[in-house]
């Protein structure tokens, strides 16, 4: 904008000089002021082509004024007027080209920033997906190792224990009996440690997010909203209880709910986690009475409470605006 004003200012000054070069009169001053104002006002016109076309008007007026005045150096004045016109027109066109290229540059920069942001988001998504695949592969490998240990080593140890029991039964030599007892105790201890290791491998491989996702997929006829904020390092008892509570809650919704919306919220805190399962269905009066009286037979809610109690927690049930299960599990 300032460059455009400066170009029109130079054009106005050149015309004023030209109009008053021969003699300063009232008419030359009036025409000079009008010329200056007209050139500067054209900046305010939003259509650039029209504004550029109106630049010629002051020069035409100046030419007419010179023809009427007929100065002695008319050819020189005419050449000066033509040079001023060419300078003004070329400067305006060049300025507009610069503005156009600058806008294209800004647009290109904005597009590149947007593309860079999209690429970063895609890369982040790919990294998360790769981490998830690695995590799933690790869990599958743990399950495979646990299964191999159970099927192969476990069976061999069991056979060794049975054979040793038979040898102890048939043995009549009291001198080797202590050694056989020691060997039996060693095999029993090995068997117990192997079982604990297998259980630990399987327990660590419980993918809570995948189990939740599989259970939630059963709600095909409901609009489901989820808010799952937890880490997969929860204790195994808590994982089992959460999966059991969600499974029971989803089963109850599918069987008894007459609503169309379900909300599932899981939040993990430092020493406990909470699971809320809500739907907007209307309960009949009999079920409401059972819930209010604490009699849960036949609708699976007692099972939910027992699972929560197993983790030193508790479960609560609400019948306002649908039905809500709220379970708190400590760890």
Give the per-residue pLDDT at 89.
Answer: 77
Please provide the average confidence, as pLDDT, over all residues in the chain.
77
| Residue 35 near residue 15, CB atoms below 8 Å | yes
Give the pair of three-digit tokens for residue 124: 């982040």
Mean pLDDT lowest among 32-41, 58-67, 202-211, 306-315: 202-211
Quick check: 53 pLDDT over 90?
no
Q: Under CATH, to which class is 208-330 assigned?
A: alpha beta
Tell me the two tokens of residue 205.
């491989």
Torsion of CA 218, 220, 221, 223, to 10 degrees: 100
* pLDDT 10s digits, 293-326: 766 555 577 788 888 998 999 998 888 778 899 9
pLDDT score of 4 more than 80:
no
Q: Are 91 and 83 in contact (CB under 8 A)?
A: no
- To the nearest whole percent, how much of the chain has pLDDT over 70? 79
Please tell me whether residue 325 adopts helix, strand or coil conformation: strand
* Dihedral of alpha carbons 304, 309, 311, 317, sign: positive
Per the rule left: phi > 0, alpha: psi between -120 and 50, beta: everything else, 79 is alpha
pLDDT at 265: 94
Token pair in block for residue 194 = 């192997």
Residue 30's pLDDT is what? 75
Mean pLDDT of 284-294: 72
Going by pLDDT thresholds of 50, 70 and 90, the confidence category of residue 262 is: very high
Give the separation between CA 92 and CA 90, rounded to whole angstroms.
Answer: 5
Q: Are 241 and 329 in contact (CB under 8 A)?
A: yes
Q: What is the pTM of this model?
A: 0.45
**Which of 117-126, 184-193, 249-258 holds the top average pLDDT?**
249-258
Spatial CB neighbours of 230, under 8 Å, sequence gap ≥ 6: 208, 266, 267, 268, 273
CA distance 87 to 286: 93
Q: Among candidates 306, 328, 308, 317, which has minimal Cα distance to 279?
A: 317
- Give the tens place of pLDDT for each residue, 113-166: 888 888 777 767 766 665 556 556 666 666 666 666 666 677 777 777 788 777
Cα atoms in the 13 Å half-sphere on the side-chain side of 118: 6
Residue 255: the pLDDT is 82
Provide the token pair at 190.
């090995």
Calculate mean pLDDT across residues 246-256.
Answer: 86
CA torsion, points 92, 96, 99, 105, in degrees to nearest 10?
-140
Domain ranges for the chain, please list them: 1-103, 130-202, 208-330
């Amino acid at each position: 904008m300032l460059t455009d004003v400066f170009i029109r200012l130079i054009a106005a000054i050149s015309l004023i000089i030209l109009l008053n070069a021969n003699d300063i009169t009232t008419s030359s001053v009036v025409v000079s002021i009008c010329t200056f104002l007209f050139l500067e006002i054209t900046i305010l016109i939003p259509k650039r082509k029209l504004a550029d076309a109106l630049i010629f008007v002051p020069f035409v007026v100046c030419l007419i004024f010179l023809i009427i005045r007929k100065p002695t150096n008319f050819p020189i004045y005419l050449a000066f007027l033509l040079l001023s016109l060419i300078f003004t027109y070329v400067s305006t066109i060049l300025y507009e080209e610069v503005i156009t290229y600058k806008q294209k540059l800004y647009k290109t920069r904005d597009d590149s920033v947007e593309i860079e942001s999209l690429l970063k988001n895609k890369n982040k998504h790919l990294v998360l997906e790769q981490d998830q695949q690695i995590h799933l592969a690790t869990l599958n490998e743990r399950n495979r190792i646990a299964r191999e240990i159970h099927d192969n080593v476990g069976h061999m140890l069991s056979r060794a224990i049975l054979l040793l029991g038979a040898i102890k039964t048939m043995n009549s030599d009291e001198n080797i009996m202590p050694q056989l007892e020691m060997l039996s105790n060693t095999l029993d201890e090995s068997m117990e440690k192997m079982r604990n290791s297998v259980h630990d491998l399987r327990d660590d491989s419980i993918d809570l997010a995948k189990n939740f996702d599989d259970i939630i997929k059963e709600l095909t006829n409901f609009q489901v909203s989820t808010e799952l904020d937890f880490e997969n390092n929860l204790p195994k008892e808590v994982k089992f209880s959460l999966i059991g509570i969600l499974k029971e809650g989803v089963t109850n919704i599918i069987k008894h709910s007459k609503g169309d919306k379900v909300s599932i919220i899981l939040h993990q805190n430092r020493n406990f986690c909470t699971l809320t399962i809500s739907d907007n269905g209307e309960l009949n009066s009999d079920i409401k009475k059972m819930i209010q009286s604490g009699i849960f037979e036949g609708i699976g809610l007692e099972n939910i409470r027992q699972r929560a109690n197993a983790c030193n927690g508790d479960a609560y049930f609400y019948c306002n605006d649908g039905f809500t299960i709220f379970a708190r599990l400590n760890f």
